[in-house]
Amino acid sequence: MPTPLLSEAQRHTFASEGLLVLPGFYRQDQDIEPIQHAIHDIIGQVMRRHGVPDTRPAFRPETFDEGYVALIAQNRSWGAEVYDAVKQIPAFVRLVAHPAHEQLMRELRPGSLPGIAGGGYGIRIDNPNEDRFRAQWHQEYPAQLRSLDGVVLWSPLVQITESLGPVQFCPGSHHDGPVPVHTRDPAHPNRTGAYALMLKDEAELIARHPRIAPLSGPTDLIVVDFLLLHASGHNRGDRARWSMQMRYFNFKDPTGLAHGWKGSFAAGQDFRQIHPELCAD
Ligand SMILES: O=C(O)CCC(=O)C(=O)O
Ligand SMILES: [Fe+2]
């Protein structure tokens, strides 16, 4: 690993935009392919569990998820099994703790003491034409807590195209600081926990900022400030959008220190108790 990982220009970009795209940050053979292969195998195990014949061709990195869309068309709950299983892939957990991530934190947040947000890593599977689990416009902090000063590491396992619905970001929006949120969305009662969070005055807020949706592919990394506004795209393609999320925080951040690095919904905490002043209900 070259030290430093980032140029001064890249550190400046991250500070001013709250977002940094790092093409080819990972190695396809060592880092990414073992994860794709394990997902392929787990899809096979879920087929087996449910007596679905596995007629897929042999694994190839580009088509590791072949058969998945057909599988969940048969029974959507089998997709939830795959979703829960894949975050337990050893090669994925190894990637979460990659030494380069700690190094990135040290370069982006000099003097920080990096932590891996518990419950804050996983592999999203954004199924075609399914909106229930789309992330609405949000900042990461209320959804994750741990520390105000944190980063999301977002990396796709498939080549992202316009039709797969790339994640949308508002560069520079992190300078606004934490934005109050509604913790219930009456228009969408089936959204719970972090999925129910809704920015106060969302439309006005988003309209004030530029918006980008970079296309990325396997081995690329997008680093996102915990306070940057972002939202899922809409997958209108015919394949699931598979992507990895890993989150690092800073044990030295004063806000995290004050509440003891508590996690949010995924850690069973009620965000409203920890930050009543950010609650807009
Ligand atoms: O991948 C997505 O659609 C949303 C990602 C996101 O919000 C995150 O990684 O924090
Ligand atoms: Fe997010």
* Model pTM score: 0.97
Q: Is there a contact between 200 and 181 (Cβ–Cβ < 8 Å)? A: yes
DSSP line for 98-145:
-HHHHHHHHHHSTT--EEE-TT--EEEEE-TT--TT---SB-HHHHHB
Residue 225 Cα distances to 23, 57, 154, 213, 245, angstroms? 18, 40, 11, 15, 13
- What's the gap in Å between 116 CA and the centre of ligand 1? 17
Q: Is there a contact between 229 and 205 (Cβ–Cβ < 8 Å)? A: yes
User: Best of 20, 232, 236 to mutate for ligand 1, by most ligand atoms within 8 A of CB?
Assistant: 232
Pocket around ligand 1 at a 6 A CB cut-off: 124, 126, 135, 140, 152, 154, 167, 230, 232, 243, 245
- What's the gap in Å between 174 CA and the centre of ligand 2? 13
Per-residue pLDDT of the chain (281 residues; tens, 9 = 90+): 667 999 999 999 999 999 999 999 999 999 999 999 999 999 999 999 999 999 999 999 999 999 999 999 999 999 999 999 999 999 999 999 999 999 999 999 999 999 999 999 999 999 999 988 999 999 999 999 999 999 999 999 999 999 999 999 999 999 999 999 998 888 888 888 888 889 999 999 999 999 999 999 999 999 999 999 999 999 999 999 999 999 999 999 999 999 999 998 888 888 889 999 999 98
CA–CA distance, 36 with 92 (Å, rounded to integer): 9
C-alpha neighbours within 13 Å on the C-beta side of residue 147: 22
- What's the gap in Å between 169 CA and the centre of ligand 2? 10
- What's the gap in Å between 121 CA and the centre of ligand 1? 11
Q: Note the pLDDT of residue 98.
A: 98
Three-state secondary-structure class, residue 2: coil
Q: Note the pLDDT of residue 268.
A: 84
